[in-house]
Structure 1
Amino acid sequence: MKKGILSFASLAFLGALMSAQEIKFEEYDLPNGLHVILHQDNSSPLVTTSVYYSVGSKDEAKGRTGFAHFFEHLLFEGTKNIKRGDWSKIVSSNGGGNNATTDNDRTYYYEDFPSNNEQLGLWMEAERMRHAVISQIGVDTQREVVKEEKRLRFDNRPYGNLFTAITQTMFPASQYGWTPIGSMDDLNSAKLEEFQDFYKKFYIPNNAVLVVAGDIKPAQTKKWINDYFSTIPKGASITRNFTEDSPITQEKSVTFTDPNIQLPMYLYSYRTPGNTTRDSKIMDLVSSYLSGGKSSVLYKKLVDQDKKALQVSAESLAFEKAGVFACIAIPMGKTPEGELRSAIDNEIKKLQTDLISDEDLQKLQNKFENQFVNQNSNIHSRAESLATYYALTGNTNLINKEIDIYRGITKEDIRNAAKKYLNPNQRIIINYVPEKK
């Protein structure tokens, strides 16, 4: 019966993949270095205009953290031709939506418009790149916005500074050692000229990818792009001084306290390769095998059977140049940390010793094939994927081919990766515990 169910599921996923057409695109470079990607899909009257800037928290300097995320806010303040406070008003009054996101490696801005306002989206992003106003009033205003965001999302939220604990612990030397929100002290002490210099350094066409996706007419789109972007001056070449962290060769334990929690959380954290590597994708499968749902081995063992954990997961998080794999557990009752660690280590040891079953491998591949199809199921997500694949790898067609990497992962690959990266002498135990009253 199980084989029959699995075969039916496999056929369903295969059908979904076959029905997902190849994503076609056109790409070229402007003389100023701006990389342009066009994706035409006239199935609905919508257009996404987005710009990916290769600047994230890893491009900051110690003592001046939080700049990349700060600009995610600051560059909605206004431009030479868009009055302060009018950016979102213009977008919403023309039937659109807009936002931006920042992570450790990039900052991404977008507008979603009805296709009859495609030109407006292009003009606005060109304004952001060419004419953003970096003023003292804008800096002061957005400092307060970011402070409030930090209070709400991090300082006053249960387990809110968990990611901070991970980055500080796992990347003590490199620029991945702080989170994109950064330090409020750093932002407070920075002068206006430093923000202006950051804009001039990173917000340049030769550090950006422009994507226009949706209901477009490519010839007209190219003309608008040429009109608005081609005359923006090319910026100076960017020197990126990334510091590599030394390998972890001996297990150690660190403790962080959180006043907003009542239950401790324990993390068994290992350093892994960056997200452009094949091994990073193998670790994605390892993560899913260990804790992908209630049928996963860690959940069944620690939560269902032994009742030792209230919650357990294995998370694979990869940045451009490095990654983290963490097994995370919240104990049930007064279960000692050592018992959780022993149980998790036993499951990892099995993974390092025995091959997973054919059925389990097929389930994992089905899951990732389904995710691959879903993540590119609409215009907005396709635009972001196109920009990301080009910026990180130089291979935009991975939007069609990355799934082949996951399909090619074998049971031996999973066992070998667990052996290579998940050993006790390669980890740091993070005790994230309630602050004593």
Structure 2
Amino acid sequence: MWDPYADFKKFVLANGLEIFISHWSGKPWIKLGCIVHAGSFHDPSDGDGVAHFVEHLVSENAPVSLEDMEYFFQHLGGGCDFGSTRIFDARYTFKIPANVIHLQSGLQYFSDMLLGSNLIKHIEEERDIIIQEWHDRHTVQCFYDEILHQNTVVFDGFNLAKPYLILGSVSSLNEMSQSVLQDFYDEYYVPSNMSLVVVTGLPCDQVVEIIGKSDFGQSCTYFRTEIPNSVTSVHPLRETCRKMCMSEHGIRAIDRCLYRNAGKVPHMPNQLVVLILREMLNDMIFKEVRGKRGVTYNFASFDRFLGYFTEITFEGWVEFGAERVISDIVKNVINNINQKEELFDKIKEAFIQNLKMIDVNGEGLRNRTMSDIANSRRIISAQEEIEQFRAITFDDIIYIASFLSPEYRYEYIQVP
């Protein structure tokens, strides 16, 4: 079985920078990603949105202009992504031909951007862009307020209500000063708080040597963020239902309802249990919503790992008047999980067989590996995942599904 995730070699420079390299012999390219282990979770208490704002500014404050950096990567036939912010990290990537000179230049551009920069240019322009991004995402203030309220209820006791939203609030964005942005950058954008992932045709030792001689190899005081400690139990919510009537907020709405049902399940020693549970829920929901009732087209369950625990959400748009039908379907699906052992066996086996047929390109391998390192601080091989899937029992599913009962979940219905 081909297991590209098992082929990575890990190196740690003297300054604490982690480098994960996979050598694909004969490949004419380099796919490199940089993870900064600081995201919206690390925003200061009075500055929600700082991590995302900093991500916008780093490429605008490099010694070389953003346009010139983009041209360098693109004229070689490659490309770059100057940043995306998540809850626990920010990620930057590029791809270029497998050439020593090109790699040295690419590393120089990225180190100039990510290390030791002064964030003094384009602050007001980027502030306006991010505020517009906020309005594009939330449309009106009451939608943002509702999501924040939901997060406050579901994540009560954990610092996730605001970080979950990444962008911050408009008031925080308007008040954010250059010094707050610079302080965040100076604290978290250091080599010891970064990991590089490289998939390339160049030899591993050669790549490590080149990185070590670049500014990524510069000495620094060691600092590295930690992943939050996972919890093994969660408590019922203080509020479990809320309805918003859009017309009461002066919003002219289409004749449809948004249904969202959110909650969290505790950390399991084997987190792949959640993946099987999600697929079981989606299989059962599809048969009820589409096959039997025909009440909506796009309705599903989603999971999101949040460090302490995993969020599981049911969400979709339904015709006005069908929201209670959807609510009953969700409850019935959850209640009937303990009768679906045959479905469990089928989905579990499908995951295992899929892992035996890995077909991934260099970019996909880099990106999936970056997610592993960001969430687990290590790479999880396909063989390890197969063994983890095999170890999952139906009792594990029943146990984790017990945290999906109504007292653990927040139901939100948005009606015209």
TM-score bucket (shorter structure): 0.7 to 0.9
2:399 corresponds in structure 1 to 416
1:289 corresponds in structure 2 to 280
**Is the 2:3–2:383 Cα contact (8 Å) retained in structure 1?**
no
Asked if 1:188 is matched to 2:136, the reply is no
**Is the 2:37–2:224 Cα contact (8 Å) retained in structure 1?**
no
CA deviations over 1:132-182 (Å, ceiling 9, x no partner):
2311x32112112212222334427xx899865653442244332121111
Asked if 1:253 is matched to 2:241, the reply is yes
**Aligned residue type for 1:408:** A
Between 262-271 and 162-171, report the one with greater CA deviation: 162-171
2:330 corresponds in structure 1 to 344
**Is the 2:26–2:201 Cα contact (8 Å) retained in structure 1?**
yes
1:129 corresponds in structure 2 to 114
Distance, in Å, in 2 between the alignment partners of 1:241 and 1:394 is: 8
Asked if 1:77 is matched to 2:60, the reply is yes
**Is the 1:251–1:428 Cα contact (8 Å) retained in structure 2?**
yes
2:98 corresponds in structure 1 to 115
1:94 corresponds in structure 2 to 76
SS at match of 2:214: helix
**Is the 2:240–2:411 Cα contact (8 Å) retained in structure 1?**
yes
Alpha-carbon offset, residue 403 of structure 1: 3.6
Asked if 1:325 is matched to 2:287, the reply is no
1:316 corresponds in structure 2 to 303
Distance, in Å, in 2 between the alignment partners of 1:406 and 1:73 is: 39
Percentage of identical aligned residues: 18
Between 167-176 and 194-203, report the one with greater CA deviation: 167-176
Alpha-carbon offset, residue 41 of structure 1: 0.8
Distance, in Å, in 2 between the alignment partners of 1:71 and 1:235 is: 21
Matches within 5 A, 1:175-254: 175-178=159-162, 179-229=165-215, 231-235=217-221, 237=223, 247-249=235-237, 252-254=240-242
CA deviations over 1:400-437 (Å, ceiling 9, x no partner):
52343223322222222212x11121111122334xxx
Alpha-carbon offset, residue 78 of structure 1: 3.4
**Is the 1:154–1:161 Cα contact (8 Å) retained in structure 2?**
no
Alpha-carbon offset, residue 65 of structure 1: 1.0
Alpha-carbon offset, residue 31 of structure 1: 1.3
**Is the 1:54–1:105 Cα contact (8 Å) retained in structure 2?**
yes
Matches within 5 A, 1:28-177: 28-79=11-62, 81-83=63-65, 85-99=67-81, 100-116=83-99, 117-135=102-120, 137-155=121-139, 166-177=150-161
Asked if 1:334 is matched to 2:321, the reply is yes
**Is the 1:78–1:86 Cα contact (8 Å) retained in structure 2?**
no
- State the number of aligned residues: 403
Distance, in Å, in 2 between the alignment partners of 1:86 and 1:224 is: 23
Between 186-195 and 361-370, report the one with greater CA deviation: 361-370
Asked if 1:405 is matched to 2:393, the reply is no
Between 191-200 and 38-47, report the one with greater CA deviation: 38-47
Distance, in Å, in 2 between the alignment partners of 1:224 and 1:304 is: 57
Distance, in Å, in 2 between the alignment partners of 1:177 and 1:403 is: 34
Distance, in Å, in 2 between the alignment partners of 1:370 and 1:65 is: 40
Alpha-carbon offset, residue 69 of structure 1: 1.5
Distance, in Å, in 1 between the alignment partners of 2:229 and 2:405 is: 24
Distance 1:133 1:348, change over 3 A: same
SS at match of 1:112: strand
CA deviations over 1:372-407 (Å, ceiling 9, x no partner):
965x71212222333333343343244652343223
CA deviations over 1:223-272 (Å, ceiling 9, x no partner):
21111146523246367797999733455212356647521122222212
Match of 2:290 among 280, 291, 303: 303
Structure 1: runs of 5 or more not aligned: 1-17
Distance, in Å, in 2 between the alignment partners of 1:78 and 1:88 is: 14
**Is the 2:28–2:97 Cα contact (8 Å) retained in structure 1?**
yes
**Is the 2:31–2:95 Cα contact (8 Å) retained in structure 1?**
yes
2:263 corresponds in structure 1 to 270
SS at match of 2:160: helix
* TM-score normalised by structure 1 residue count: 0.81
Distance 1:67 1:402, change over 3 A: farther
SS at match of 2:341: coil
Alpha-carbon offset, residue 347 of structure 1: 1.9
CA deviations over 1:352-385 (Å, ceiling 9, x no partner):
x32421x5522344147537965x7121222233
**Is the 2:13–2:217 Cα contact (8 Å) retained in structure 1?**
no
Alpha-carbon offset, residue 107 of structure 1: 0.5
1:10 corresponds in structure 2 to none
1:11 corresponds in structure 2 to none
